[in-house]
Amino acid sequence: MLAYVTRRLWQTIPTLLGVVLLVFFLFTWVGGDPAYLLAGKISNPEQIENIRRQLGVDRPYHVQLWIFIQQIATGDFGESWATNEKVSAIFATRLGPSLTVLVPLLAVDTLLAIAAAMLVAYVRGSLTDRIVMIGCTVGQSISILVYIIVFQYVLAYQLGWFPVQGWGKGFAENLLRYSVLPIIVGVIVSLAPDTRLYRTFFLDEINQDYVRTARAKGMSEARVMWVHVLRNASIPIITNVMIQLPGLLAGAFLIERFFSIPGIGREVILAVERSDFPVIKAVTIYVAIATMIINLIADLLYRVVDPRVQLK
């Protein structure tokens, strides 16, 4: 396994270099001249040239690329063009709130989706199965904005069970007070598609020969589902869960914005609105690195849940 991990880590180097070149190309040639964006409409050539000099975009492209590689290696992407805050400090302070919401959200959603999918797979073709699938279809058809507005109005504003929005200073306060309603909204939104997907995984396994053999040996249906079917369906479930992880940080901007959570997702949207290239480039690189690491972890988990999987 150590040899496999080492080989995979070496393979990430050319992949990361490709991502670096792509990001550099997009922000250098396609993204436009940042000096014009920062100078605004009322500016003169001297001001624009001064800004270009301060940003270092007046240097040759190979020098800019080398500086970008050094920034990635050191984790220092400079300062935000909009707030003059260190990009590293932005991630250090915004990562905690995002994880406080997204980790429990993903854990609760995965457990509930697996339980619901296993239930409807167990009673496949029944009225319960049809009702749950219809409910999942309806749930997927409703925009997340509708869930956010309705839950904020009913649970927070009308009933007063949760704060409408905000964020505190302590971890316990944030987790147990401010994060509960965003987690509920996130779980409701994700539960329907995940249940439909996991149900498909379970149905694929239920029709396999080893399941019929287990039943023929006299095993109870509960043991067949929880031991055999669940274990073999875990590989695609792990794939789905791990794929969601990198995108969750940047993709939860609606929840973070509507609930005033100072997380990574909200910061990314603000950076896009301000054309804050250092923050956007850092997010792109970090998500790429996280994706490669998570893919490696997923491959290792395959081996844990199914010893038949060979790491080659």
Residue closest to 184 by CA, chosen among 112, 122, 250: 112
Cα separations (Å) of 294 from 10, 92, 121, 153, 299? 15, 20, 29, 37, 9
CA 90 and chain centroid, separation:
18
Q: Give the whole-number percent of the chain exceeding pLDDT 70.
A: 87
Q: Which two tokens stand for residue 151?
A: 């839950």
pLDDT, mean of residues 246-257: 72
User: Tell me: the pLDDT tens digits for 107-131?
Assistant: 898 899 988 888 888 777 788 888 8
Q: Which long-range contacts (CB under 8 A, 24 or more apart) does 307-311 make?
A: 309/235, 311/1, 311/4
Which H/E stretch holds residue 154?
A: none
SS3 277: helix
Strand partners for 48: none
Res 246 pLDDT > 80: no
Cα–Cα dist 291/263, whole Å: 19
Cα–Cα dist 199/236, whole Å: 11
Strand partners for 72: none
How many of the other CB atoms lie within 10 Å of CB of 120? 23
User: Tell me: the pLDDT tens digits for 136-169?
Assistant: 888 888 888 888 888 888 888 888 888 888 888 8
Question: What are the structural domains, with CATH classification, of the chain?
Answer: 2-74 (no CATH), 89-305 (1.10.3720.10)
SS3 86: strand
End-to-end CA distance of the chain: 9
Q: Is 108 exposed, middle or buried (0-12, 13-18, 19+ CB in 10 A)?
A: middle
Cα–Cα dist 223/207, whole Å: 16
State the amino acid at position 231 in one-letter form: R
User: Tell me: the pLDDT tens digits for 180-220?
Assistant: 898 998 889 888 888 988 888 888 888 777 877 877 877 77
User: Tell me: the pLDDT tens digits for 38-90?
Assistant: 666 556 666 667 766 766 666 777 777 887 888 888 877 877 877 778 888 88
The pLDDT value recorded for residue 112 is 92
